[in-house]
Amino acid sequence: MSNTLIKQEQTLEQIKHIERFRKLIMDFEDKLLDLPDSYGDPEKPGQDKMANTINPLKHTFADGLYIREIFMPKGQIISTGIHKKEHPYFVLKGDISVLTDKGIKRIKAPFNGITKPGTKRLIYMHEDSIWITVHATDKSTPEDVLNEVVAKDFDDPDISIESMIKKLKLKNK
């Protein structure tokens, strides 16, 4: 199943829904990280040694592209980074449930989709799963790419609620 890339402007009501979801998902992530045996560092997604042992990453660079593959074992819950840029993703193996501001979606491999700027997901693995993202970049290390494509928080000017409202006001003038 594939998705068609469609540019959509958001209404003020949709922006307020996104703002509520962002607060809830960040609160949930904080509670998740407080649990025993929890691991990961939201300040440095993809750079935690324990996470990279349990969720091995494969990094590939090819002619202006960075391809990132992650293995996620059955029964795991992952909170993703905050994506700054639109990019494709592919689920090559597995069965997962994904929570975003649009709700919960069950995805079974093979599947592909598009990640929109400002997206942060909670993912539950029903089976061992492999997820791949592809990013256009001129960077040459995974760390540099992550700094370019992952926001530190939702206040990043590229994805903030304020910038979404500003774009909406400009559109409606």
**Does residue 143 register a pLDDT over 80?**
yes
pLDDT single digits (tens) 82-97:
999 999 999 999 999 9
Residue whose token pair is 């703002």: 19
pTM score: 0.86
51 or 88, which is more confident?
88
Q: Is residue 123 part of a domain?
A: yes
**Is 81 within 8 Å of 120 (Cβ atoms)?**
yes
Q: Quick one: how far is CA 136 from the chain centroid?
A: 16
> Rg of the Cα trace of the chain?
16
**Does residue 1 register a pLDDT over 60?**
no
Domain count for the chain: 1
How many angstroms separate the CA atoms of 169 and 173, rounded?
A: 6
Q: Is residue 1 part of a domain?
A: no
* CATH number of the domain residue 85 falls in: 2.60.120.10
Q: Is residue 6 part of a domain?
A: no
**Is 109 within 8 Å of 91 (Cβ atoms)?**
yes
When pLDDT is cut at 50, 70 and 90, the band that residue 38 belongs to is: confident
When pLDDT is cut at 50, 70 and 90, the band that residue 20 belongs to is: very high
